[in-house]
Amino acid sequence: MLHTHERFVTSGPLRIWTERAGAPGQPAVLMVMGSAAQGVSCPDALVSRLVERGVQVIRFDHRDTGRSSLVDFDEHPYTIADLARDCLAVLDGHELDAAHVAGTSMGGMIAQWLGVHAPDRVRSLTVMSSSPMGHDPRPVWARARAGEPADPDDLPPPSPAFLAQVAAGLPPGVESDVALFRVFNGPVRPFDEPAARAMLELALSRATDPAAAANHHRAVWMDAPGLLAPLSSITAPTSIVHGDQDPVYPLAHGEALAAAIPGAELHVVPGMGHVMTSPGLPEEVADLIRL
């Protein structure tokens, strides 16, 4: 059984919920989850495998998710850079000078920002199921929806199944989320629906305001200082973990990341989609996180 300790830390005026697993004296891995995702979306099985590898693991709720503070986005808009500063506040709150940083999807973009702008706080980087920070896919998605030809310089758009799911505009709730996670999972590996449903129900039960997480979709495209900084300046040892069935960021996004970051190792996970909702996949990904 996974033994954890919860605590709140402060990031400016905000309170950020955090959870630590493993011995405090061990090197730390900071798990940074994706857009609208709470810390509990990081599977227990992944955390347990990392603890077995001899590290402590810190999960946390981004602002506007779970038990962390809510923000009036219209009055106080925030950016990827602000979300990255929340990560630094989590490290400060746990009295950690530096950590291995592992981010998935939007969390992978936050991890890149930390690698560029806070290199002294980053022991290593693992960027999972993500895309180069500062890359705006919205024009590409619009062309794909309209059936227009792609620009040769474009990174590829999401899969038709994902675009159709987004276009369907299903009402919010666990059933809609389960349907979305089925698409996220991809068609190759089995989808562990009971586990996904349990996680989504837990997330709904602990969210102060479930609708607030939609602010992340606005934050991702806000201009942020340093978001277009070259990834070639990253000096931390870096691994890119990407599924060959990712319906949101097809494999070319991971390949572009690996090409942009000096010395980065690309690990292509056969059959993996955009989430870790297939039996055994969390442990497989945990073994690829750079320590």
Q: Which residues are catalytic?
A: 105, 246, 274
Q: Distance between CA 291 and CA 283 in Å, rounded?
A: 15
Q: Which helix (H) or strand (E) holds 93?
A: helix 80-93
User: What's the DSSP call for residue 118?
Assistant: -
Tell the burial category of 107 from Cβ atoms under 10 Å away from its Cβ (0-12, 13-18, 19+). buried
Q: Distance between CA 86 and CA 32 in Å, rounded?
A: 10
Q: Distance between CA 34 and CA 109 in Å, rounded?
A: 9
Say how far residue 1 (Cα) sits from the centre of its chain: 25
Is the CB of residue 238 less than 8 Å from the CB of residue 124?
yes
Question: Would you say how long the chain is, in residues?
Answer: 291
E-only strand ranges, 44-150: 56-60, 99-104, 122-128
- Tell me how many degrees the CA angle 287-60-222 measures, rounded to the nearest 5: 100
The closest of 171, 215, 159, 192 to 37, measured between CA atoms, is 215
Identity of the amino acid at 43: P
Bridge-based pairing of strands 56-60 and 99-104 is: unpaired
Helix axes 160-168, 138-145, angle to 10 degrees: 90
Q: Distance between CA 143 and CA 66 in Å, rounded?
A: 34
